Amino acid sequence: MAKYIAALKTALFILCLLPLAHYAAGLWQDTLGANPIEALTRGLGDWALRLLLITLAVTPLRRLSGWAWLLKLRRMLGLFAFFYASLHLIAYLWLDQFFDWAEIGRDILKRPFITVGMATFLLLAPLAATSTKAMIRRLGGQRWQRLHRLIYPAALLAVLHFTWMVKVDVREPALYGVILAVLLGLRAWWRIDDWRRPLVPRRRIIPIQVRR
């Protein structure tokens, strides 16, 4: 089983790098259209959000399917979400603002979609920093889990960031919003369901839950 998981992780790692490869090749071959920097910045943001939602889908999928091994992929997915979010931020700081910190400061204060984008990144950073086994041990499972619930507000803010960036057609961010609502809604529903059955022990097994 461990062998399969290792192979699966390698495959997933390569898969998660494909969007980056796509944009790198696009820049190299000039196939990103008239405004490649805009296409790159937006593309990196798109993939940060998509991977964030995929990360959030792991728990519901595992619960619905019973495949406990899915959880072993979650950290990598979350770290890739953060990786793309970081590249997205770097693209903004460098290619959009050329490290003009005064202008960046004004942007953060005055433009709500940028304020929200920065907040999202600040919420994700501690999660990436505490993703190692050593950090889980140091924090203790409970505290680690509490900290990592920051992914919920981070995902909400990420969707808001996208929505406020769009000029008129909010269908795409709305779609991500619906997906997020389902992913968070399932959790809420299950939680209420657990409370309704007080005789069943609460599920608090961290970080990896074995299938019952």
Partner 1 sequence: MLIQRPHDVPPSEITPKSVFAERRQFLRLAAGGALVLALSDAHAGDRLPAAAASPYSTPEEPTPYRHVTGYNNFVEFGSGKDIPAERAHRLRTSPWSVTLDGLVHKPRMLAIEDILKLAPLEERVYRLRCVEGWSMVVPWVGFSLSTLLKQVEPLGSARYVALESVVQPDTQPGVRLPLLDWPYTEGLRLDEAMHPLTLAAVGLYGEVMPKQNGAPVRLVVPWKYGFKSAKSIVRIRFTDKEPLTTWNKLQPDEYGFYANVNPEVSHPRWSQARERRIGDFLKRPTQLFNGYAEQVGPLYAGMDLRKFY
Residues 49 and 19 sit within 8 Å (Cβ to Cβ): no
Residue 98 makes contact with partner 1 by CB under 8 A: yes
199 alpha carbon, distance to own chain's centre = 34
Q: How far is the CB of 195 from partner 1 (least distance, A)?
A: 41
Residue 37 makes contact with partner 1 by CB under 8 A: yes
Residue 110 makes contact with partner 1 by CB under 8 A: yes
> What's the CA dihedral at 51, 53, 56, 58 to 10 degrees?
-70
Q: How far is the CB of 120 from partner 1 (least distance, A)?
A: 17
Select from 158, 99, 106, 104 the least CA-distant residue to 127: 158
The two three-digit tokens of residue 94, written as one number = 């460098």
**For partner 1, the closer CB: 7 or 37:** 37
Using CB under 8 A, pick the residue from 128, 165, 174, 182 that binds partner 1: 165
Residue 29 makes contact with partner 1 by CB under 8 A: no
Residue 90 makes contact with partner 1 by CB under 8 A: no
Angle among Cα 89, 94, 95 to the nearest 5 degrees reads 100
Residue 105 makes contact with partner 1 by CB under 8 A: no
Residue 35 makes contact with partner 1 by CB under 8 A: yes
**For partner 1, the closer CB: 111 or 191:** 111
Q: How far is the CB of 146 from partner 1 (least distance, A)?
A: 35
Residues 81 and 55 sit within 8 Å (Cβ to Cβ): yes
Cα distance between residue 160 and residue 179, in whole Å: 13
Query: Where do we find the tokens 């931020």?
Result: 89
Residues 53 and 155 sit within 8 Å (Cβ to Cβ): yes
Using CB under 8 A, pick the residue from 28, 169, 196, 198 that binds partner 1: 169
Give residues in contact with partner 1 (CB under 8 A): 33-35, 37-38, 95, 98, 103, 106-107, 110-113, 164-169
